[in-house]
A and B are shown apart, each in its own frame.
Chain A
Amino acid sequence: MIKAILIFNNHGKPRLSKFYEHYTEDTEQQIIRETFHLVSKRDENVCNFLEGGMLIGGSDYKLIYRHYATLYFVFCVDSSESELGILDLIQVFVETLDKCFENVCELDLIFHVDKVHNILAEMVMGGMVLETNMNEIITQVDAQNKMEKSEVNQDLTYSLFYLPV
């Protein structure tokens, strides 16, 4: 099971937080800060796995993270998940973001965290990996966005139709 997925930048600013277990907002912020401290002090050339972290920790849990340019992608998982599998999943996640945002950068995540959530929802559901096939993920995300767009257009047409002249 995945316990939490965090994305924060090199300064520890959260760009996405998804907890699959309930914490109070304060605890969540604490977890993000602590995770940032744990991950950011590690060298680039060390492994991507990290055990410990008081809040999220427990002996069964570990942090699996990847660092891309200005962003850290951190997954907190228990022992039922394979480390390499999750690493691969992060890669799929990032590649999907890259496809959906066309050369994704931190700003995309800052302004469109809702979209990031929607993408993530197609990959992980309730802490369990739902889909690892990038094409499938993108297909579903695109289909939903298309639906949303048609709804907005509908909405606008409807409004304009009744607009007093």
Chain B
Amino acid sequence: MALKIVKGSIDRMFDKNLQDLVRGIRNHKEDEAKYISTCIDEIKQELKQDNIAVKANAVCKLTYLQMLGYDVSWAAFNIVEVMSSSKFTYKRIGYLAASQCFHESTDVIMLTTNQIRKDLSSPNQYDTGVALTGLSCFVTPDLARDLANDIMTLMSHTKPYIRKKAVLIMYKVFLKYPESLRPAFPRLKEKLEDPDPGVQSAAVNVICELARRNPKNYLSLAPLFFKLMTSSTNNWVLIKIIKLFGALTPLEPRLVYSCVHVVKYLGLLAMSKILKTHPKSVQSHKDLILQCLDDKDESIRLRALDLLYGMVSKKNLMEIVKKLMLHVDKAEGTTYRDELLTKIIDICSQSNYQYITNFEWYISILVELTRLEGTRHGHLIASQMLDVAIRVKAIRAFAVAQMATLLDNAHLLTGNMQRNGICEVLYAAAWICGEFSEHLENPMQTLEAMLRPKVATLPGHIQAVYVQNAAKLFATVLKSQEGNTDSTAAQETSQLMIDRLPLFVQSANLEVQERASCILQLVKYIQKLQQKDVEIAEEVNALFAGELNPVAPKAQKKVPVPEGLDLDAWINEPPSESESEDEQPKAIFAKEEPKHSRPRHTEVDEKELARRREARKQEQANNPFYIKASPSSQKVYQDTPGVEHIPVVQIDLSVPLKVPGLPMSDQYVKLEEERRQKERAEKKKKEKKKRKEKRSGRGKKHDSGPESEEDITPAHQVDIVTEEMPEVNSLDILYFVPLADSEKLPVRSHRETPKSPAEDGDTENAALQEPKKKSTKEKREKKKDKDRDRKVYDIQGNLQDGSQVVVSVIFENKGDSFLKSMEFNVLDSLNSKLQRPDGSGPHDGLTVPFQLPPGVSNEARFVFTVQSIIMPQKLKGTLTFIVKNEDSSTHEKLDFKLHFTCTSYLITTPCYSDAFAKLLESGDLKGSSVRLEGVNMPFHHLLARICFHHHFSVVERIDSCASMYSRSIQGHHVCLLVKTSGQTVSIDAKCDEPTLLGNVLDEIKQTFSQC
């Protein structure tokens, strides 16, 4: 026996092990199959030996070969032998082989039952483990039935390693032997709360798989899983539970929340992390995040809010805020609503209102927010109102109108008197209405609103602002009323003040009392003067003259004290009591107002002044809160990087919208959308043109990227954008190409060229054809890129009487869509005007009298009136049209330019040589000349070209010299003497209008430089 073992071991040393086999296969790449078949023969020999080590080695090699696709089922019995080895090493090899190649129809499996049972109960946990692992792969219904009990016992094994495997394999057992499920289930359920996380995880795994097959039986476990989900730190378990809930939710909708919430929360958390590094990728999920605002779970809503803050851009601000506003309306509980409110304001005001393109909209949002009940952020809204009204000049009129409405409806806001309540906005409203009262439509009404007795119930600091601003309003009202003949109105106003103010004089608040009594006395004095018919409005207004500028609280500190200046020393005598009355009240109004340093009149030289100015500008530039109205300081902002984005000074409000009553911010959203859509359409067009540009290789190149955030221009800059449009469209310059048939060509019939008329005629024709074709082709190329419905434009100028030009335009629809309702419009210049039918305005377009199906072209003529013809000029124009597709129709436009060359004002007029000579002799004509170099064409071609392109006729031709004549529509004579020698052509020209002549010669030069 011992000898046998030794022999076996020695034999083994000469056998190939797995590594040798692999190496051998790698070394026999050419005859791999042959090599392997010899190996299999060897293996067969090895398997015949008694030595278990040799057999195990052989089985191990077989497992490898199985992976390579060789059928090893013939060795099944040997595998069972190896599995039965008492040694773990061999057992493992055996079980691995079995798991790789045994299946239900492997008949030797039935022989394994007892061996497996033995292994399962082995004292060595790894024997058990290996058996379980192997069994999990090849368990049959018979094995399941026979071993179910053993495995169930293992589920309570002392070693967690065994427990988790036993639990997991139970699923396989259930599958093969479903009857086992009922008795095993209680123990399985128990395992959900196993102290070992691995066993827990296995139990979750099994139940999840079971639940997938039959969800409703596992609903009762939901609370248990929920507990696990909240307590487990194992991600794998969490994922599984969420998957399980996914299977259960169709039966129990309540579960959706619990699991969706976890996922949502985690998702949002992850997003906020991604946002910091990849904002773009998160922005695309905006809708999803907005949906999360509807979530029942407050922490998810707050998370979503956080995300939104980082996501806003000019593009989506309005949309996001609109959604948020909806949520504000719906929100339950003031905490969340307040959170929403602050978020809205945060989002809008971040980076100095960087993302706001329309401040009217923002004011409306603020006003809408005041309607919130019970908010604690009245102060926040108020400060935003003040900030915007002060910093955005263009918005003031609108803001004032809104604030006046607020004041009028103050009773709606005064419900909440607590500190920081919504009534705080009245503070802002009163101040804005007072300070910018010149914008008020009906100051009198606002004044009355501010002096209502109910005001006395407001908090003291608000009353104080009311009183002070009532005085400002009073001044404004006086001013408007004093212009009238009826002085009683003004006196009545004063009386109103005198009637109402005493209420405030009695106020318990010292500041209110002080201001009220001060102003009351003032008004009484004014009334006295009024009764004497003294005009005092001017003086009253002087009290509040000057504009308040917001300055950062510490701005003054940063201005260096000039050397030699002692701020504490009196420079003049102490001021008398009457000093600068108008400055005092101001200081009270704005908290932001810096303390006025004592007036100093030190003499400072120019240099020092300049230095200080510079320093101050620097300071202002660096301080975004420091807003100046003067144009010079505006420049400072624009020149300084970092502050230029502050939209304050750039805003040029278009016609302010008059919104009756409380505004609806929604309409701005709509407006904005429309505007953007328009912009986008224009941009698309631009881009198309740009592409076209590149193709034809002409003109300056622009970067054309996808519409980026920066492309969105604030609403109030639209004007600028449209102004730029024609520039970009300069490519659409349309050429005047005289058309042979429309001109009736006097050239041909009246030309006096005695020599070789036939030949000339032919070349003339050729010359006539060629350029026309060319220009059409050129344009076609340019338009080809336009994927859809574009047109080829050909413009032919035609001349009739002294001041009229006829432009023929060929519209060709190159696209697949139907074009209709085309309107042709040109921006008239002083000199040239499009003739429009009687009764239409100067900016009306002309309807093109036809429609264009795809691929069709047609010609339309337009008459222009021209005053002076001596200069060429370009007219900008637009063609608007409706593109009709099967399912939709869009309104589009195409910008173009009409180029009126001087040549187009010339009419080919025949002239006889004696008349020509007489004309030259008259001495009325002024001369000019031009030389063309490198003209490489026969002389008669050259002449034909001049005739064709520039509407001349040949008067006489002698060898390489020719005289030519043309006449302008206004009767200018143009005479040419064209001489050629080699490649040089010299043209001497005479005309009674030197400017016209110069331009014509330039154009001739141009013509030849192009060939």
On A, residues with C-beta under 8 Å from B are: 1, 14, 16-18, 20, 22, 24-26, 28-29, 80-82, 84-85, 88, 110-114, 117-118, 121, 125-133, 136, 140, 143-144, 147-148, 151-152, 155-156, 158-159, 162-164
Q: Mark B232-248, 1 if CB is under 8 A from A, else 0.
A: 00111001101100000
B205 touches A129 (CB 8 A): yes
Q: How many chain B residues touch the partner (CB < 8 A)? A: 61
Q: Which residues of B contact A84 (CB under 8 A)?
A: 239
Interface-facing stretch out of B66-74, B443-451, B692-700: B66-74
Query: Across the interface, which residues of B come within 8 angstroms of A114, CB to CB?
Result: 18, 60, 63-64, 93, 96
Are A132 and B133 touching (Cβ within 8 A)? no
B322-356 vs A: 1/0 string, CB under 8 Å? 00000000000000000000000000000000000
| In the complex, chain A residues whose CB is within 8 Å of the CB of B9 | 155-156, 159
Q: Which residue of A lies closest to B234 (CB)?
A: A132
Q: Is B916 an interface residue (CB 8 A)?
A: no
B169 contacts A126, C-beta separation under 8 Å: yes
Taking A80-B243, A128-B206, A132-B236 as contacts, is the C-beta distance between A118 and B96 under 8 angstroms?
yes
Q: Which residues from A are CB-within-8-Å of B23?
A: 111
Q: How far is the CB of A104 from chain B (nearest CB, A)?
A: 16
- Which residue of B is nearest A149, CB measured? B89
User: What residues on A are CB-neighbors of B87 within 8 Å?
Assistant: 151, 155
CA distance A14 to B69 in the complex (A): 10
Residue in A112, A118, A158, A164 whose beta carbon sits within 8 Å of that of B5 in the complex? A158
- Interface pair B239/A110, CB less than 8 Å apart: no
A159 touches B5 (CB 8 A): yes
| Number of interchain pairs (Cβ within 8 Å) | 131
Name the distance in Å between B15's Cβ and chain A's nearest Cβ. Answer: 15
Give the chain A neighbours of B124 by CB distance below 8 A: 147
Q: How far is the CB of B14 from chain A (nearest CB, A)?
A: 14
For chain B residues 93-108, which have a beta carbon within 8 Å of chain A?
Answer: 93, 96, 100, 103-104
Chain B residues closer than 8 Å to A164, beta-carbon distance: 3, 6
19 more CB-based (< 8 A) A-B contacts, given A88-B236, A126-B171, A144-B88: A22-B103, A80-B243, A82-B239, A82-B242, A85-B239, A111-B22, A112-B18, A113-B18, A114-B18, A114-B64, A118-B96, A140-B129, A144-B92, A151-B87, A155-B9, A155-B53, A159-B6, A162-B3, A162-B6
A111–B25 alpha-carbon span in the complex (Å): 11
B168-A25 in contact (CB<8A): no
Q: Is residue B19 within 8 Å, beta carbon to beta carbon, of the partner chain?
A: yes
Chain B residues with CB below 8 A from A143, complex form = 126
Q: Judging by beta carbons under 8 Å apart, are B168 and A125 in contact?
A: yes
List 19 interface pairs A-B (beta carbons < 8 Å), by A numbering: A1-B209, A17-B67, A22-B104, A24-B71, A26-B69, A80-B209, A110-B22, A114-B64, A114-B93, A121-B96, A125-B133, A125-B168, A126-B171, A128-B206, A136-B198, A143-B126, A151-B88, A158-B5, A164-B3
Most chain A beta carbons < 10 A, residue from B66, B70, B103, B137: B137
Pairwise interchain contact B96-A162, C-beta atoms closer than 8 A: no
Known: A114-B93, A151-B87. A14 touches B137 (CB 8 A): no
Tell whether B201 is near chain A: CB-to-CB under 8 Å: yes
Contact residues in B for A125 (Cβ distance below 8 Å): 132-133, 136, 165, 168-169
What 0/1 readout, one digit per residue, does chain B (124-158) give for beta carbons within 8 Å of chain A? Answer: 10100110110011010000000000000000000
Q: CA of A117 to CA of B5 in the docked complex: distance in angstroms?
A: 29
Q: Is the CB of A16 within 8 A of B63?
A: no
Q: How far is the CB of A142 from chain B (nearest CB, A)?
A: 11
**In this complex, what residue of B is CB-closest to A126?**
B136
Residues of chain B from 693 to 714 with CB closer than 8 A to chain A in the complex: none
Q: Is B67 a contact partner of A113 (Cβ separation < 8 A)?
A: yes
- Chain B, 198-223, contact with A by CB distance < 8 Å: what is the 0/1 string? 10011001101100100000000000
Contact with A along B65-92 (1 / 0, CB 8 A): 0111111000000000000000111001
Q: Which residues on A sit within 8 Å (CB–CB) of B6?
A: 159, 162-164
In this assembly, does B628 line the interface, its C-beta being within 8 Å of a C-beta of chain A?
Answer: no
Query: Is B96 touching A117 in the complex (CB atoms < 8 A)?
Result: yes
Expressed in whole angstroms, the Cα–Cα distance for A123 and B133 within the complex equals 10
Question: A111, B198: Cβ atoms under 8 Å?
Answer: no
Q: How far is the CB of B301 from chain A (nearest CB, A)?
A: 25
Q: Which residues of A contact B126 (CB under 8 A)?
A: 143-144, 147
Asked if A14 contacts B104 (CB within 8 A), the reply is: no
Q: Is the CB of A118 within 8 A of B201?
A: no
Contact between B69 and A25, CB atoms less than 8 A apart? yes
Instruction: Give the docked Cα–Cα distance between A143 and B124 (Å).
Output: 12
User: Is B172 engaged at the interface, CB distance under 8 Å to the other chain?
Assistant: yes
Contacts of A14 in B (CB 8 A): 67-68
Asked whether A25 lies within 8 Å of B71 as measured between CB atoms, the reply is yes
Residue of B nearest to A130 (CB): B168
Q: Is A128 a contact of B66 with CB atoms below 8 Å?
A: no
Contacts of B136 in A (CB 8 A): 125-128
Q: Does B2 contact A (CB under 8 A)?
A: yes
Whole-angstrom CA separation of A121 from B9 in the bound complex: 29
- Top 5 closest A-B pairs, CB basis? A126-B136, A22-B103, A29-B69, A162-B2, A82-B239
CA distance A22 to B68 in the complex (A): 16
Cβ-based interface call for B377 (8 A): no
